[in-house]
Amino acid sequence: MTSTNGHHRIPVWVKALDPLSQFGLVHALRQRPEISLINDTDLAAVMPGLSGLSGDQRTTPPVVALIAIDSLDAGAVQVLRAATQRGCRRTVLIGSTIDDDALMTAVELGVSGVLRRTEATADRIVHLVQAAAAGDGSLPPDLLGRLLGQVSRMQRHVLAPRGLSHTGLSDRETQVLRLVADGKDTQEIARELSYSERTVKNVLHDVTSRLQLKNRSHAVAYALREGLI
């Protein structure tokens, strides 16, 4: 799957909870040169070839699940879990209503990008898919603020009184996670800490692998909740 500019096209599995949204997303993305849409059969065929490879051995982008919902109810949670179980390594969520509880649940389920339906143009969807495939997270600023506020309150009122303030993280890992929590991307973090982008990605990979987390958004939520940063 290679686009005309020589870059690998990102395989995207689209799942909406209503046929009209499914049709609209597929129609909007079908002609995009950055995207290669895959169906259920394609997904089943692609994943066995990737499952035995480490992240460093994969030369093609990871499969990104693009999931459209109205609200994060039980049915939507089931779809998100199914995407992970079927081998999608990144998930972008388009939602109509995203409250605080839904936001935390989405992060815990491995969602790395969130977009409101009212803002879901083809260009913005592609941007989030590209960010997710690169291992970056993307939340609207107000949602990121709400997420950080929620886990910060949990840290202060639930964890800190129990003395759960030890980190278990290296200074470098703590620095990187704090900058991710500030909304900075890989390039900005590398520039601020005078690291290479590869070093930043390796630090995040080490943290997520060691703590068995799904992505950088999950790592930040976990670190804040546990009082690690």
Q: Render pLDDT for 33-67 as a digit per residue (tens, 0 to 9).
A: 999 999 888 777 765 544 444 444 444 678 999 99
Give residue for tokens 């068995």: 212
Over the chain, what is the mean pLDDT?
79
Q: What is the pTM of this model?
A: 0.60
Are 147 and 182 contacting, i.e. CB atoms less than 8 angstroms apart?
Answer: no
How far apart (Å, rounded) are the C-alpha atoms in residues 112 and 89? 10
Q: For position 27, what pLDDT does the model report?
A: 93
Mean pLDDT of 105-124: 86
Angle at 57 between CA 32 and CA 135, to 5 degrees: 50
pLDDT band with cut points at 50, 70 and 90 for residue 121: very high
Burial grade of 59 (CB within 10 A; 0-12, 13-18, 19 or more): exposed
**Is the pLDDT higher at 136 or at 167?**
136
Above 90 in pLDDT, residue 10?
Answer: yes
Range scoring the smallest mean pLDDT among 55-59, 75-79, 93-97, 215-219: 55-59
**Where residue 150 falls among pLDDT bands split at 50, 70, 90?**
low
Q: How many helices (H) does the chain have, and how many strands (E)?
A: 10, 5
**CATH fold of 10-138, please?**
Rossmann fold (3.40.50)
Please tell me the class of the 143-225 domain.
mainly alpha
- Residue 37's DSSP bridge partners are 12
Domain definitions of the chain by residue range: 10-138, 143-225
Q: For the chain, what's the residue count?
A: 229
Report, as an integer, the average pLDDT of 135-141. 75
Q: Determine the Cα–Cα distance for residues 124 and 25; give it in Å rounded to an integer.
A: 12
Of 108-122, 141-155, 170-184, minimum mean pLDDT range = 141-155
For the record, the structure tokens of 38 come out as: 């895959």
pLDDT at 42: 78
Tokens 């890992």 belong to: 173
Instruction: Tell me the C-alpha to C-alpha distance, in Å, between residue 174 and each of 91, 153, 179, 224.
Output: 25, 19, 9, 11
CA 94 to chain centre: 12
